Amino acid sequence: MASDTLETTLTSIHEMTPRVKQFILEAGDHTFSYQPGQHVVIKFEQNGDVVGRPYTPVNLPGTGALALGIKRYEDGTASTWMHDRSVGEEITITKPSGNLHLRDLDRDVVFLSTGTGITPMIAMLKQYLSEGSG
Decide if 69 contacts 95 (C-beta within 8 A).
no
Structural domain spans, the chain = 5-131
Question: CA-CA distance, 5 to 44, in Å (whole number)?
Answer: 12
pLDDT tens sequence for the chain (134 residues): 457 889 999 999 999 999 999 999 999 889 999 888 899 999 999 989 999 999 999 898 899 999 999 999 999 999 999 999 999 999 999 999 888 877 888 888 888 887 767 777 787 788 888 888 87
Which pLDDT score, from 0 to 100, does residue 1 have? Answer: 47
Global pTM reads: 0.84
23 CB contacts (<8 Å, ≥6 apart)?
10, 12, 13, 67, 68, 70, 82, 85, 91
Decide if 98 contacts 124 (C-beta within 8 A).
no
CATH class label, 5-131: mainly beta
Which pLDDT score, from 0 to 100, does residue 22 have? Answer: 95
